[in-house]
Amino acid sequence: MHPWNEPLFETLKGRLERFPHALLIHGVRGTGKLALAERVAQLLLCESSAARPCGRCEGCRWFRAGSHPDFRRVEPEALARDAVPADEDAEAPAKRGKPSIDIKIEQVRELAGFLNLRSHRGRLRVALVHPAEEMVPSAANALLKGLEEPPSGAVFLLVSHRPSQLLPTIRSRCVALAVPIPPRPAALAWLAEQGVPNPERWLAYAGGAPLRAADFAAGAAVLERLLQHPVPVGEREELEALADALQKIAVDRALTGFGLAPKYQTGGPAVHRSKVGAWLAYGREMGQHRLLCRHPLNPKLFSAEMIGGLPKD
């Protein structure tokens, strides 16, 4: 867990006696929400009487090994951390497409089956759903049934980057915990500890979210080219990064038109005040396009359309 989230963890630790059956941990991407949720899950499954996960009991050892029988993680296939080992004697599987970026109803149904079983360790059963907004509608409705009538001893931990995209009925059945962007000095100190080059630049580009800043710094060469000379991309995975870059360029240009410092440090010349309206409108359009980037019909044409709409300085 990241140091800036320790106060939130302490708050949750003080509620163990009356812990909610469903907790919605939400905030912008890159603030350490998933690590916080994992720490909370380990605390709930720890079998010692320590004030925090002891790391020594059977529960903690199984959790860290990713094999705790009373814990389930529900994520899109594209985010799955551990591939299922192949059986050498089994018939070769048919060729599959790209891993899904959605949480499917089958995953939630399997989760319901797990939660309705008795605990292996005689304690709680914990389900972590991440990112919760990636559930397809049928999966969201299936999860809602579990939240409405939660099995005894079951705890749901939902992690969301965009909670507004969740069903209102799901949000209403969870206790919400907002994870804010950490103070800039704490974020910069963490980035320095990780050896991230040019941390001030990439923390600004990430809007203050340190984990995203580290990811952006790792892909700095590609991002720098994208910011200086946006070009169409051919892969679905690259589209959102392009829309994000174009939106940040638009915000920075609009700010320079008002005589203000750019927020995201995207570079580029200042614009005349008369162009501010066009840049702001383009930034709003890119914000809408970011929501469409997950399922484009043709990534290259879609990205070319986005770039073609860039206002002229």
In three-state secondary structure terms, 209 is: coil
User: What does the pLDDT read at residue 116?
Assistant: 83
- The answer to whether residues 35 and 185 touch, using CB atoms and an 8 Å cutoff, is no
Residue segments in the chain with a per-residue pLDDT below the cut of 70: 50, 81-97, 296
- The answer to whether residues 200 and 264 touch, using CB atoms and an 8 Å cutoff, is no
Phi, psi of 241 (to 5 degrees): -65, -40
Place of tokens 């952006």: 216
- Residue 159: strand pairing partners: 25
The CA–CA distances, whole Å, from 231 to 149, 223, 237, 304 equal 50, 11, 15, 7
pLDDT digits (tens, 9 = 90+) for 207-260: 999 999 999 999 898 899 889 889 898 887 788 889 999 999 999 999 999 999
Contacts with 8 (C-beta within 8 Å, 6 or more apart), sequence order: 36, 177, 179
In three-state secondary structure terms, 127 is: strand
User: What does the pLDDT read at residue 123?
Assistant: 81
Which bin fits 197, alpha (ψ -120 to 50), beta or left (φ > 0)? beta
Cα–Cα distance measured from residue 231 to residue 200, given in angstroms and rounded to the nearest whole number: 26
User: What does the pLDDT read at residue 296?
Assistant: 61
- The answer to whether residues 34 and 168 touch, using CB atoms and an 8 Å cutoff, is no
pLDDT digits (tens, 9 = 90+) for 148-176: 988 888 999 999 999 999 999 999 999 99
User: What does the pLDDT read at residue 121?
Assistant: 78
Q: Are strands 154-160 and 22-26 parallel, antiparallel or unpaired?
A: parallel
User: What does the pLDDT read at residue 191?
Assistant: 97
Place of tokens 């000379």: 229
- The answer to whether residues 60 and 38 touch, using CB atoms and an 8 Å cutoff, is no
Q: Residue 246: name the closest of 309, 312, 161, 297 by CA.
A: 309
User: What does the pLDDT read at residue 194?
Assistant: 95
User: What does the pLDDT read at residue 96?
Assistant: 54
- Residue 192: strand pairing partners: none
What structural domains does the chain harbor?
3-82+90-178 (3.40.50.300), 219-308 (no CATH)
- What are the helix (H) ranges across the chain? 6-13, 33-45, 58-65, 105-115, 137-148, 168-172, 184-193, 199-205, 210-218, 220-228, 236-257, 276-292, 299-308
- Residue 193: strand pairing partners: none
